Amino acid sequence: MKDPENKLKRIDIGMKLFNLTKCFRGWGVRKIPGLGRIADYINKKYFDFNRVVLTKVLGSKMYVDGRDKSISGHLIWRGVYEDRSTEIFKDKVRPGMNIVDIGANIGLYTLLAARKMKNTGTIFAFEPEPENYRLLSANIRINGYTNVVAIQKGVSNKTGKQKLFKDGIDHGRHSLSERTNLKRAGAVEIETVTLDEFIKNTGNPRVDILKMDIEGAEGLVIEGADSVLKNNKLVLFMELFPNALRHLGSDPVVLLKKLENYGLKIKIIIDEVDNCVRNESLEYIINLCSTRKIGEAVNIIMEK
C-alpha cells in the first residue's frame, strides 16, 4: 500500500472521468455504446485491478481489492454498493449507538456508521476471512475511527472452529457452505463465537443495530443469539438469501417466523437487483429470490 494519497488522487481523476455514467446507474457500463472503451482506458490509466487501491466511499477512504468482481468493483466505479440499503442504514444510525456488523467484509457499513457516529458509541465488526479482515482493519485506521472494534472471527451457533469456503469471484460470497460459492477458491479454518457469548464477555452492552450479511449463516447466528434478541429493542438489517440459508440447514420462512417470535417485524424489503423497495408478501419475495440465477437475495429490515 505505497503512496496511498497519490493513489487516492489517481482514483479521484478516474472517478471524475467516469462521472458521466452516473446518470445510467444500474445499467452496466458496457451496455452503454462507446463507454466500454472509455472504461478500458480509465482502467488501464488509473487503476490496477490486480492489487489493492484506495478510493472514496460515502465520505470515507477505503482500500479495496481490485480482484474482487463484486463489492470492490462497485465501490471503485460508482463509489457505492447497495445504494438503497446503505441509504436506509445510514438513516437508522445515531450517535452513541452500539452496532454489531456480522460479515463486515472490508467495512462498507462499518465505516458508514463510524463516520455518522463521530467516534461515539461502539461498532463491533466481525470479519473472519483473512484478506477481507486486513482491508477492514486498514480502512478503520486510515480514517482514524476510534469507535470500531474489528474481530477476526465468524459468528455462529457455537464457539470453536469451522471451515470457511472462499469465492474467487465475489469476495463477499465466502461462505460456510461450499455450495454457495460462484467460483471455488479453497477454504480457510476460522474461529467462531456465538453472539450471546461475545456480548456477555464484552460486559453486556446494549445492541441497537444488528446487521448480518453472511451468505446463509444468519440462521446459525440466531441460534446463538437468544439473549441478545430477547433483551434488546434492536433494528435488524439482514440479507435474506433463501438458497444459501437452505445450504446451511435453515428454512427462510421458519427463520423469519422465529425472528417474529422475538417481537421483530418486517418493516422494509429492499430489492437491490431491481433497485426498489418492495411491499409484496413474504411468499412473493422468497419465490422471487429462489427463481433468480444471480441476484438471489434481498435485504430486509426488522424492528421491534
Q: What class, spelled out in words, does domain 83-303 have in CATH?
A: alpha beta
Tens-binned pLDDT, residue by residue, of the chain (304 aa): 444 455 445 545 544 444 444 444 444 555 556 655 665 565 555 545 557 788 899 999 999 887 776 777 778 777 888 888 999 999 999 999 999 999 999 999 999 999 999 999 999 999 999 889 999 999 999 999 999 999 999 999 999 999 988 876 665 566 676 656 555 657 889 999 999 999 999 999 999 999 999 988 999 999 999 999 999 999 999 998 888 898 889 988 899 989 999 999 988 888 766 666 766 667 776 676 666 555 577 899 999 9
How is the chain split into domains, by residue range? 4-78, 83-303
CA angle 226, 227, 229 (to 5 degrees): 65
Instruction: Note the pLDDT tens digit of each residue in 152-197.
Output: 999 999 999 999 888 766 655 666 766 565 556 578 899 999 999 9
Identify the pLDDT of residue 302.
93
CB 155 within 8 A of CB 214: yes
Go through the chain and tell me how many residues it has: 304
Q: Round to whole Å and give the CA distance between 12 and 255.
A: 43
